[in-house]
Amino acid sequence: MSELVRFGVSLEKSLLDAFDSFIRERNYTNRSEAFRDMIRQELIKREWVGGDDVAGAITLIYDHHRKDLLNKITGIQHDYQKVIISTQHIHLDHHNCLEIIAVRGNPSEVQRLTGMLKSIKGVKHGTLSMSSTGKEIE
Amino acid sequence: MSELVRFGVSLEKSLLDAFDSFIRERNYTNRSEAFRDMIRQELIKREWVGGDDVAGAITLIYDHHRKDLLNKITGIQHDYQKVIISTQHIHLDHHNCLEIIAVRGNPSEVQRLTGMLKSIKGVKHGTLSMSSTGKEIE
Amino acid sequence: MSELVRFGVSLEKSLLDAFDSFIRERNYTNRSEAFRDMIRQELIKREWVGGDDVAGAITLIYDHHRKDLLNKITGIQHDYQKVIISTQHIHLDHHNCLEIIAVRGNPSEVQRLTGMLKSIKGVKHGTLSMSSTGKEIE
Amino acid sequence: MSELVRFGVSLEKSLLDAFDSFIRERNYTNRSEAFRDMIRQELIKREWVGGDDVAGAITLIYDHHRKDLLNKITGIQHDYQKVIISTQHIHLDHHNCLEIIAVRGNPSEVQRLTGMLKSIKGVKHGTLSMSSTGKEIE
């Protein structure tokens, strides 16, 4: 078995509280154990998407009131115009937006775009759902 | 916005190395950011199991030439009108369509809708991106 | 003044009844007078859209239960893929759909596409809203 | 479906000639079809003046780099959430965006929303396509 390494993590208190109640619910003995499980899940999900032309959707939830968020989100999308077809925007409530970006093109470019959008402060959640363009699947 | 709290985590070195390479791949700026994302995902999954108001996107790839496929896809969507906000349709090539359905409402109804759409003959690929209405995540 | 020409027109009885009540409302003395007015309005609206790259939206209302309508609408859109960016579909009620097609490209091709979609049986209404792509307008 | 009724119309030859060339331009198969379309348009305009539930699309072209434009456009849309179904956003080039807002609800509220969006500095072009929920047209 591999040696243990210890390091620090910073989280918003409200998020940590929600996480701690989740840990109790699932009967983990400590936070490290829960993190270990989540990391393994992520590594398993990381499937390879074949080909050089994929199609799919990036889904984001964000609070449009966060300073500079809209400029950043739109600026990044214009930089990645080549892989973006169109964006569907839904106003969920006074604060929250659901934005669904239809994408097509090189898979690593699409993944890079998703990473950049998710790391913007104020983006609460982001997922990428990717598929082949359908030519190779029957 | 909530204050930041710092705490320690212990992980096996091999798992941490794999996690660090995953973090680079996804363009996270540091480990805390990746943990924040994983925690939010877990909380959203909880919303989808226990909640009554979720939001997300169903992504489909299909060949529109398949007999009766369009009538079935549209018919089912009209039956589930209550949980569908709008649908984005992209013509990928002469045969293949990418259809992205923005959904909101009762999670089990949304999951049932996804199952029905995926099982239509001619639908090559279907995924449900579970997201959140944003109210319960920071 | 130009000589008068007489010709026949066929209309659904329900539509003609609605038209007749509209004529009374507006105090036209007969149907020909109302048609004369509507034609002049159309000819005035027919502005020239400059350039060879326009962007805009085609808006359609249709009853998706009409036989073969969905196949025709989707088939034509795939044939005009070059000028279509993406399509937004909204389920208005059990019968009626609102479909908004984002278009870009050659203006006469976009107009031809609009004409073909509007003439499909079961399409109740169709409009084209066209603009320059924004490069030439400040 | 309603039975067809045939009746006669008298028009000045010059107006009829202009109308016939308009019909060819728009790809109508015959005059009756063009008349049908014009009548439906008039009936829809009536819905927009007197009705309480209309549907349509607002089309905007703007330069997203203009200071504060994105915040204003999104802020106003969240205020008018009640009449907005969803928004389709297309990145035309590095500067210009095409935004198509699917709307439904009270006609005067939709018209007020259109006016507010068009008057934002940086919005180059804005149109409202008045359509119908389809219930009142055959």
The pLDDT of A43-69, averaged and rounded, is: 79
- Same domain assignment for residues C25 and C85: no
Phi first, then psi: what are they for D12, rounded to 5°? -65, 140
pLDDT grade for D42, boundaries at 50, 70 and 90:
confident
B7·A18 Cβ contact <8 A:
no
The residue of chain B with its CA nearest to that of A8 is B8
- Same domain assignment for residues C69 and C109: yes
- A35 part of a folded domain: yes
Pairwise CA distance, residues A65 & B134, whole Å? 13
- Same domain assignment for residues D39 and D66: no
- Same domain assignment for residues D79 and D59: yes
Count other Cβ atoms within 10 Å, centred on residue B101.
Answer: 29
Is residue D99 a contact partner of residue D88, using CB atoms and an 8 Å limit?
yes
Contacts of residue C97 in chain B, CB cutoff 8 Å? 74
Is residue C62 a contact partner of residue B78, using CB atoms and an 8 Å limit?
no
pLDDT of A72 strictly over 90 = yes
- Same domain assignment for residues A40 and A59: no
Mean pLDDT of chain D: 88
Phi first, then psi: what are they for C123, rounded to 5°? -80, 115
- Residue A46: per-residue pLDDT: 62
So what's the ipTM on this one? 0.81
What DSSP line would sit under C73-112, residue for residue? HHHHHHHTGGGEEEEEEEE-SSSEEEEEEEEEE-HHHHHH
pLDDT per residue as tens digits for the range B31-69:
998 898 889 888 888 878 777 888 999 999 999 888 889
Whether D66 and chain A come into contact, CB under 8 Å, resolves to no
pLDDT per residue as tens digits for the range C58-104:
999 999 888 889 999 999 998 999 999 999 999 888 889 999 999 99
pLDDT of A48 strictly over 80 = no
- B88 part of a folded domain: yes
- A4 part of a folded domain: no
- Same domain assignment for residues D31 and D60: no
Whether C62 and chain D come into contact, CB under 8 Å, resolves to yes
Contacts of residue B71 in chain C, CB cutoff 8 Å? 64, 70
- Same domain assignment for residues D19 and D64: no
Q: In this structure, what CATH number is given to the domain that contains residue A93?
A: 3.30.70.1150
- Same domain assignment for residues D97 and D86: yes
Whether D137 and chain C come into contact, CB under 8 Å, resolves to yes
Whether A57 and chain C come into contact, CB under 8 Å, resolves to no
- Same domain assignment for residues C69 and C127: yes
- D41 part of a folded domain: yes
pLDDT per residue as tens digits for the range A86-123:
999 998 888 899 999 999 998 889 988 998 998 888 89
Q: Which segment of B26-30, C24-28, D32-36 scores lowest on mean pLDDT?
A: B26-30
Interface residue of D87, D92, D96, D97 to substitute, partner A, most A CBs within 10 Å: D87
Contacts of residue A86 in chain C, CB cutoff 8 Å? 85-86, 102
Report the domain count for chain B: 2
- Same domain assignment for residues D80 and D123: yes
- Same domain assignment for residues C61 and C127: yes
Pairwise CA distance, residues A33 & A13, whole Å? 19
What chains are in contact with D, requiring at least 3 Cβ pairs below 8 Å?
Answer: A, B, C
Q: Exposed e or buried b for every residue in B54-80, given b needs 16+ CB within 10 A?
A: bbbbbbbbbbbbbeebbbbbbeebbeb
Contacts of residue C88 in chain A, CB cutoff 8 Å? 88
- C8 part of a folded domain: no
- D19 part of a folded domain: yes
pLDDT grade for C48, boundaries at 50, 70 and 90:
very low
- B6 part of a folded domain: no
Whether B85 and chain D come into contact, CB under 8 Å, resolves to yes
Pairwise CA distance, residues A81 & A83, whole Å? 6
Count other Cβ atoms within 10 Å, centred on residue A110.
Answer: 23
- Same domain assignment for residues B106 and B123: yes
CA atoms within 13 Å, Cβ hemisphere of D71? 10
Whether A3 and chain B come into contact, CB under 8 Å, resolves to yes
Q: Which domain holds residue D23?
A: 13-49
* Identity at A133, one-letter amino acid code: T
- Residue C134: per-residue pLDDT: 61
Whole-structure pTM value: 0.80
- B4 part of a folded domain: no
D89·A94 Cβ contact <8 A:
no
Contacts of C137 (CB under 8 A, 6+ apart): D61, D124, D125
